[in-house]
Each structure stands twice: as C-alpha cells, then as structure tokens.
Amino acid sequence: MEFGCKGESLAVRHLKKQGYKILEQNYRTKIGEIDIIAKDKETIVFVEVKSRRSVHFGSPKWAITPRKQRKISMVALWYLKATRQNHQKARFDVVAIWLKKDKPDIEIVKNAFELAYV
C-alpha cells in the first residue's frame, strides 16, 4: 500500500473510533483536494492527514504551510457552497501520524488552523 494511502486509512479508522462520521475521502475540485471531510457532532471537519516515518522533516502536525492552509480553505468553502451548508459550523483538523515499526502513533489536532483565504 502506498505510504500516503496507508496514513489516510489509519486516519479514517482513528477518526471513526473518536466518533467522527466520514462524509468524503479525497474530495477533489479544480482548485485542490481535502483528504477527509467528516462530521464531529454538529461540526463539519476538514481534515488534512500528514504522515511521517522519521523526525527528519519534523513533526507531521506542523507540516501544513500557510499556502496549503489557503488551498484547503478554498476547497472547504467550495464544498460548503456546493452542498448548501454555508452556515454550518466548520473547523480544520490535522491528523498527524508517526508510522513506527511496531505501532503507529496517531494524534488529532483539532482546530489546527483558521480559515485562510487571503
């Protein structure tokens, strides 16, 4: 299984265990993609998954650049408009995964960043 896909499937399983309902995976538009769109109680959650095998590139939870945040924000706004959920509560989470040999370490960072559209 490809490294990124493995991380995403681990993230989906972990999110489900935490009570999230998965709405979309790999949601693509002409302006970009969001790894996972889920619902956590009454909030729509746009989830970016970041996986790492080593600390060489730093923590996966800090790997989302301001540019990537803007791209994710634009796709999130697109999704909310396309699904007529403009007034729905929403947030951005990051699922950070360290893929270790024995067992992956998975952390959900809720409200990892704010809407960034400028």
Burial of 91 (0-12, 13-18, 19+ CB in 10 A): middle
Q: Is 92 helix (H, G, I), strand (E, B) or coil?
A: strand
Cβ atoms of 71 and 113 closer than 8 Å: no
Which residue segments constitute the domains of the chain, with CATH numbers given?
3-113 (3.40.1350.10)
Q: Is the C-alpha dihedral spanning 94, 15, 49, 104 positive or negative?
A: positive
Local confidence band at 116 (pLDDT 50, 70, 90 cut-offs): confident
Q: Is 65 helix (H, G, I), strand (E, B) or coil?
A: coil
Give the single-character DSSP code of 62: G
Tokens 């970016």 map to which residue? 48
Cβ atoms of 60 and 104 closer than 8 Å: no
Q: What is the pTM of this model?
A: 0.89
Summarize pLDDT for 64-81 with one digit per residue, the tens. 888 999 999 999 999 999
Summarize pLDDT for 81-96 with one digit per residue, the tens. 999 998 899 999 999 9
Residue 56 Cα distances to 53, 60, 98, angstroms: 9, 10, 12
